[in-house]
């Protein structure tokens, strides 16, 4: 029988990208889903899309919730239990996330803390709120989304990613620490940590929106200069050219990625189904994971990483563990 059929899943950040695709694919697999997003309209739209694609008996509900606010997470929990007439949940995907707060030195403190609050405290509050309900399921899975930035704390030369990396390392550490904790204290629940590489989504634009900025076409020059560090502002470019560049960079991030959001969701669901606790998404994630583990002290020596990558192909992936009985 399909692993997800007849179950109830929770997906945070379901209004876009991987979250939306997870909701749609779960519904197709016969799983009821409660999804939330800080953007109310997008969560509602996902629920309608997924409900239309799911078989009879599946219920998909959309909820408004900012996962960085514990009171909202608890309200989301109570709302979904009432709407699904359930006293437990079976799978929780803590997927909501944003970028921002790139530099601890120069970024605004509020931007750093917003990103950390969403990407770390959001995962923590959801674990607090939903663990008792996963235990009540008798066969629960907590799936926390980290990133390659959960084991490699940079985006490359001159591109720090401080708040995001700090949060994603925390998500990875917390999830790994839960393995033995759950084995010892709540063996009816297992945990998985998802580490995607570059996936084609609107995360760049959504992270700007989370910061309260208007769409690039409507941004003032002051907002543009505040967003883009002076050293990254293309030489001689006008504000209008930079506005166009922002639109293009989001489109390129989404459309030129090696893995689509739908493909990523399939990889994540296959990983959960197989019983894996460590789900790397994309060849870039697998290569980076191998490079960093092969020689940790070279992780931030980009020239050495490049030489290692060129000199040796990563080993074949380890076989997936057999599904839990
Ligand atoms: N896209 C990538 O390349 C990539 C790589 C590694 C990890 N990730 C992680 O994958 C997850 C999904 O990202 P995505 O690329 O699908 O992005 P996305 O922007 O397409 O989707 C994220 C969703 O989360 C929502 N969200 C943001 N802040 C929220 C909050 N405080 N409360 C509730 N919802 C909130 C957004 O509105 C959006 O709908 C994130 O945790 C992200 O950090 C993405």
279 lines ligand 1 (CB under 6 A): no
Q: Which residue out of 18, 46, 161, 251 has the highest number of ligand 1 atoms within 8 Å of its CB and is therefore the one to mutate?
A: 18
- For 222, the 3-state DSSP assignment is helix
Closest ligand 1 atom to the C-alpha of 202?
A: 20
Taking only the tens place, the pLDDT of each residue in 119-170 is: 999 999 999 999 999 999 999 999 999 999 999 999 999 999 999 999 999 9
Closest ligand 1 atom to the C-alpha of 68?
A: 31
Distance of CA 160 to the CA centre of its chain: 19
Query: Do residues 223 and 245 lie in contact, with contact meaning Cβ atoms separated by under 8 Å?
Result: no
Which candidate, 75, 101, 87, places its Cα nearest to that of 140? 87
99 lines ligand 1 (CB under 6 A): no
The whole-angstrom separation of Cα 147 and Cα 62 is: 25
Taking only the tens place, the pLDDT of each residue in 63-112 is: 999 999 999 999 999 999 999 999 999 999 999 999 999 999 999 999 99
Q: Which residue out of 69, 94, 150, 201 has the highest number of ligand 1 atoms within 8 Å of its CB and is therefore the one to mutate?
A: 201
130 Cα to the center of ligand 1, angstroms: 19
Ligand 1, atom 17: nearest CA belongs to which residue?
Answer: 203
Taking only the tens place, the pLDDT of each residue in 177-207 is: 999 999 999 999 999 999 999 999 999 999 9
Closest ligand 1 atom to the C-alpha of 145?
A: 41
The whole-angstrom separation of Cα 271 and Cα 279 is: 6
What is the model's pLDDT at position 276?
98
Taking only the tens place, the pLDDT of each residue in 207-258 is: 999 999 999 999 999 999 999 988 899 999 999 999 999 999 999 999 999 9
At residue 325 the predicted structure's pLDDT band, cuts being 50, 70 and 90, is very low
Look up 300 and say whether it is catalytic.
no
- In the chain, the domains with their CATH numbers are 8-201+259-281 (3.40.50.720), 213-256 (no CATH)
What is the model's pLDDT at position 312?
74
In this prediction the pTM is 0.96
């Amino acid at each position: 029988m399909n692993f997800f059929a007849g179950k109830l899943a929770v997906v945070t950040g379901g209004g876009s990208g991987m979250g939306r695709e997870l909701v749609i694919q779960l519904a197709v697999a016969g799983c009821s889903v409660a999804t939330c997003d800080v953007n109310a309209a997008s969560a509602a739209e996902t629920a309608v899309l997924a409900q239309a694609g799911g078989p009879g008996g599946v219920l998909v509900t959309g909820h408004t919730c900012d996962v960085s606010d514990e009171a909202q997470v608890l309200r989301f929990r109570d709302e979904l239990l009432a709407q699904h007439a359930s006293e437990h949940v079976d799978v929780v995907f803590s997927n909501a996330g944003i970028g921002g707060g790139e530099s601890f030195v120069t970024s605004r403190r509020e931007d750093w803390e917003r990103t950390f609050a969403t990407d770390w405290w959001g995962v923590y509050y959801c674990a607090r709120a939903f663990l008792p309900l996963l235990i009540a399921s008798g066969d629960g899975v907590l799936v926390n989304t980290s990133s390659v930035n959960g084991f490699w704390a940079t985006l490359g030369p001159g591109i720090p990613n401080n708040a995001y990396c700090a949060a994603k390392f925390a998500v990875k550490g917390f999830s790994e620490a839960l393995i033995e904790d759950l084995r010892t204290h709540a063996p009816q629940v297992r945990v998985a940590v998802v580490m995607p590489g570059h996936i084609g989504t609107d995360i760049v634009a959504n992270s700007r929106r989370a910061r309260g900025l208007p769409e690039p076409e409507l941004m003032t020059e002051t907002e543009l200069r505040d967003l883009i560090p002076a050293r990254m502002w293309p030489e001689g470019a006008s504000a209008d050219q930079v506005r166009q560049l922002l639109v293009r960079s989001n489109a390129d991030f989404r459309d030129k990625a090696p893995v689509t959001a739908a493909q990523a969701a399939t990889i994540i669901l296959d990983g959960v189904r197989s019983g894996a606790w460590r789900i790397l998404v994309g060849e870039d994630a697998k290569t980076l994971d191998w490079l960093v583990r092969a020689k940790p002290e070279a992780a931030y020596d980009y020239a050495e990483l490049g030489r290692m990558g060129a000199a040796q192909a990563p080993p074949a992936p380890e076989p997936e563990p057999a599904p839990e009985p």
